[in-house]
Structure 1
Amino acid sequence: MDPVVLSFQDSLLRRSDVSLLDGPCWLNDQVIGFAFEYLAAERSGVLREALAFVSPEVTQFIKCASCPDELALFLAPLGLASRRWVFLAVNDNSDQTAAGGSHWSLLLYHRGANRFAHYDSQNASNSPHARRIAAKLEPFLGAGRPPPRFVEEPCPPQQNSYDCGMYVICIAEALCESAGAEGGSPRLPGHAITPAHITRKRAEWSRLIRSLAQNDRCCSLP
């Protein structure tokens, strides 16, 4: 059995999902999707209406969609044209019909700067996927705007093959906090996200889920 541990807004976490945070494991869509939901609901503060955190599943659909009309219908509820910043988790899986992939990175749209910023902890290896998503999103960011620039941002490098998902979560969290503190373009603090920081954050997110599970009607973790 793989019981449900936590239901949080649109996210559903099972015991196997949460266990990925405890060991040297690659994070899946469910864990990253929960983190994005939590950041949007609990960490964005007064900027809540200015931010959009797009789930990994939706981002994958954006990348693989071939019908503009279908994509327009799918994206309408997100209201991207009114958001100042849009966070997306990029995966290197090119198959829309099956789960997979081996690397995560973060794509952030800055409306004020009119640019896509790509943060990749593995030397921009996800750049083709991020550029494809940016191109698909461009028509839905608001009429009358010039095409956004695409920029590869400096990013702390991962030191193993499995922490890319945690880098996505930690970079998104740091940028969200920076936007709230500065009120302008979010900036990634230099040298703040280290391998030790990533390890600590794995434990923090695991404890957070356990705490939320105690107040949830689903089964709680042992």
Structure 2
Amino acid sequence: MSRIKDRVRRHFGDNLAPDDAYLSYYDVRLTKLDVDSIKNDWLTDNAIAFWQEYLEREHLSNHPRAKIILLRPTMAFMLRTSPDLSIVADALPDLRSATHIFLPINDNSDVTQASGGSHWSLLLVSLIDGVAFSYDSLHSSNYESARDTAEKLEQLVGRKLKFLALNEAPQQENGSDCGVFVCLNMKHLLLKRLLKYDANEKVAMSVDDRDIRASEGRKEMLRIVEERRREGERRRS
């Protein structure tokens, strides 16, 4: 019986240390800490990066003509905080060729801690419209961070962007669901808006009609993690 319990614990990662690998998914390595954050905590950079990787690999890849970029949290942070944009530009994809760019925004101001901060919001830049849409689930907590990122992006793409904070964005009910709201809004805007229309059409970007249930979002993210983990185990067996 103890052997069975040990196998069950290993399957669910109960014996793993926080920094131990839980899932390798293309370019993302999720640790036990990352997965625990999806369960009931403030999402780590890596947890959000996994979600972006999933959307790219399993949804966006089905639309090869789409020119949509999902910029990773570390890249968005580097863009906002770097004093030398020429260095940042070398590390980024070709943003000027995109129609839309998704950026997870963190309120971290300490450049020595790339995974710091206490709040996530979403910035969606439509280069077609020349507008940077900010979705903040905690009123306008990330207003300055999002606006500063948009201003840096203006310099990289060589055009003026109108910054628009969507105050009607769905609001979280606690202090830890902000990253989940970012992931769910990103999925909705990508799959239900941008990929449903021609790449050069203007698309309504409001999400005020959405009823976001963070607990269900966490379950969905965990389900996808566990499914990909089981797939990896089957391939190795």
Task: Establish whether TM, by shorter chain, passes 0.5.
Answer: yes
Give runs of aligned pairs for residues 45-56 of structure 1, distance below 5 A. 45-46=62-63, 49-56=66-73
Query: Secondary structure of 1:12's partner?
Result: strand
2:46 aligned with 1:30: yes
* Equivalent residue letter for 2:189: L
Query: Secondary structure of 1:22's partner?
Result: helix
Deviation at 1:217, TM superposition (A): 5.9
Counterpart in 2 of 1:215? 231
Maintained 8 Å contact 2:169/2:208: no
Instruction: Tell me the alpha carbon deviations over residues 170-209 of structure 1, each in whole angstroms, 9 at most, x when there is no partner.
Output: 0000000111123332534443233xx2211110110110
- d(CA) in 2 for partners of 1:103, 1:135: 20
Maintained 8 Å contact 2:124/2:133: yes
1:159 is aligned, of 165, 169, 173, to 173
- d(CA) in 2 for partners of 1:83, 1:4: 33
The structure whose RCO (Cα within 8 Å, separation 6+) is larger is: 1
Deviation at 1:52, TM superposition (A): 0.4
Which residues of structure 1 form unaligned runs of 5+?
Answer: none
Maintained 8 Å contact 2:80/2:149: yes
Deviation at 1:92, TM superposition (A): 0.4
* Equivalent residue letter for 1:19: D
TM-score by length of structure 2 reads 0.83
Counterpart in 2 of 1:200? 216
- d(CA) in 2 for partners of 1:64, 1:206: 31
Deviation at 1:7, TM superposition (A): 1.2
2:114 aligned with 1:96: no
CA 1:48–1:9 in structure 2 vs 1: closer, same or farther (change >3 Å)? farther
Maintained 8 Å contact 2:23/2:30: yes
Deviation at 1:48, TM superposition (A): 6.3
Counterpart in 2 of 1:83? 98
* Equivalent residue letter for 1:93: N
Maintained 8 Å contact 1:92/1:104: yes
Which residues of structure 2 form unaligned runs of 5+?
Answer: 1-16
Maintained 8 Å contact 1:56/1:88: yes
Maintained 8 Å contact 2:55/2:187: yes
Maintained 8 Å contact 2:79/2:85: no
Counterpart in 2 of 1:174? 188
2:137 aligned with 1:124: no
Counterpart in 2 of 1:8? 25
2:116 aligned with 1:106: no
- d(CA) in 2 for partners of 1:47, 1:140: 24
Counterpart in 1 of 2:77? 60
User: Which structure has the larger Rg over C-alpha atoms?
Assistant: 2
TM-score by length of structure 1 reads 0.88
- d(CA) in 2 for partners of 1:79, 1:72: 8
